[in-house]
Amino acid sequence: MPRQLLHPITNRLRPRTGLRAAAVHMSVIVTFVAAVVAEHRTAFPAKDASTAVSPLATTGPKPKPITRPKPEEITQALERGLKFLLADQRPDGSWGSPENTKPMEIYAPPPGAHDAFRTATTSLVIMALIEVQPRVAEAERPNIAKAIDRGENWLSEHLARLKRATPDALYNVWGHSYAIQALVALHKRADGNKDHQAKLTELAQHQADMLARYSFVGGGWSYYDFLAGTQTPSDSAFSFTTATALIALKQAESIGVTFPEKLTKKAIASLLRQQKPDFSYDYGEYLRMMPMLPINRPAGSLGRSQSCNLALRMYGDKRITDDVLKTWLDRLFARNNWLGYGRKRPIPHESYFQVAGYFYYYGHWYAALCIDALPAAERRHFQDHLAHILLPLQEKDGCWWDFPLYNYHRQYGTAMALMSLTRCEHK
């Protein structure tokens, strides 16, 4: 597969020569120096330029009025998505496989990259099944419980071998992050069984330790190291990957998982360096000197501002107010086509604002989590708009998918859509 498909945004390939090489290496040097300086500051410095707030953070486009989806429509979609996932579980208890879905797949060196994809996908499906189970008929719940148990057994047996695939491919960070969240959900499910909960906490702690091991030199996480391929990854972090890991680690605190404070602060500082005054976020630190690149603008940030805002809010950033969350939710719904145009396109970042298809259900799931973070009385408007977007996108077989990725896309897309729709039900 042409390596150009890895990063069509800037064609970040090796070997680098001339001005491009100098620019990329200077960007990494700036990132590293900024990270060192950030270690001597508090997590949210009051007078740092990165914490400036624009009026556009709380004012923006509003979505057009819609007809509220009926509760039974959501229930039926959940049941159809559930049936798809139950039927698609592999004999070993996992979900997803490295089967080709298109002539040119993304760079994914085996077996490590596919260990990561399968772990992340299986973890997301387990989380979705746990959330959907109480919402279906009593007669269907035993089969769901069996599927969850089989998925948990697969995780328990395979998590220990999840690691970096190659010096330049670190898809494992997705596996570690989503495995942590799945283990937190399984821990809650095992309420009353202290021995089992202790085992789940131990597994989650190991995944957190792996995230510490693969934390980038400048702070935060990415899934590529095209710079030096060093033991401590040498390239620059991505905003959304960093946010994903931070959210998982914060959730894991509830079951006793610990993580080095120094690395947490470095990750937060990296995220702040990629934050713009309107709370859009750069794709990665290597692009922070190009703030008006299409992918770094609000339309290009629709799929990651939700996760980045939520991560910073969970770690105490008081600037991420309810108004900021609501403004970005409205922006997502009003400007949804910018994400939608990229959905199902086979090449990453080929759409408007350099949006990649795999941001679609990712962005909407974290939008659902942002809705959950709002006061209950203020959620209905956003719940209805989210359901209005997701319901028509369900495929005939009950799945949802946004980017052809071997044989993982229908499973992770369905899991994210289901977890989004469970948060669209009015309580």
Per-residue confidence (pLDDT) for residue 42, from 0 to 100? 40
Length of the chain: 427
Is the residue at 427 inside a domain?
A: no
- Tens of pLDDT, residues 264-294: 999 999 999 999 999 999 999 999 999 999 9
Range of the domain at 47: 3-422
Looking at the domain assignment, is residue 196 inside a domain? yes
Is 38 a residue whose pLDDT tops 50?
A: no
Query: Among residues of the chain, what percentage have pLDDT more than 90?
Result: 85
Give the whole-number percent of the chain exceeding pLDDT 70: 88
pLDDT level of residue 27 (50, 70, 90 thresholds): low
Domain assignment present for 346? yes
Residues 341 and 361: their CA atoms lie apart, in Å, by 13
pLDDT > 60? residue 26: no
Is the omega angle on the peptide bond into residue 111 within 30 degrees of 0, that is, cis?
A: yes
Provide mean pLDDT across the span 106-129: 97
The single-letter DSSP state of residue 171 is: T
Query: Residue 307 carries which side chain, given as an amino acid letter?
Result: S
Q: Average pLDDT over the chain, rounded to whole? A: 90
Q: Which two tokens stand for residue 140?
A: 């269907």
**pLDDT given at position 52:** 73
pLDDT tens digits for range 362-376:
999 999 999 999 999
- Where residue 139 sits, what CATH number does that domain have? 1.50.10.20
pLDDT (0 to 100) of residue 283: 98
| pLDDT tens figures, 151-192 | 999 999 999 999 999 999 999 999 999 999 999 999 999 999
Rounded to 5 degrees, what are φ and ψ at 171? -60, -15
Is the residue at 26 inside a domain?
Answer: yes
Give the pLDDT of residue 51: 54
Per-residue pLDDT of 52-108, as tens digits, reads 788 888 999 999 999 999 999 999 999 999 999 999 999 999 999 999 878 889 999
Q: How far apart are the first and last CA of the chain?
A: 48
3-state SS of 37-103 is HHCCCCCCCCCCHHHCCCHHHCCCCCCCCCCCCCHHHHHHHHHHHHHHHHHHCCCCCCCCECCCCCC
pLDDT surpasses 60 at 48:
no
Domain count along the chain? 1
In 3-state terms, what secondary structure has residue 268?
A: helix
Whole-model pTM? 0.91
Q: Examine the pLDDT at 14 and tell me if it is beyond 60.
A: no
Mean local confidence (pLDDT), 320-325: 98
Q: Has residue 22 got a pLDDT over 70? A: no
List beta partners, residue 97: 407
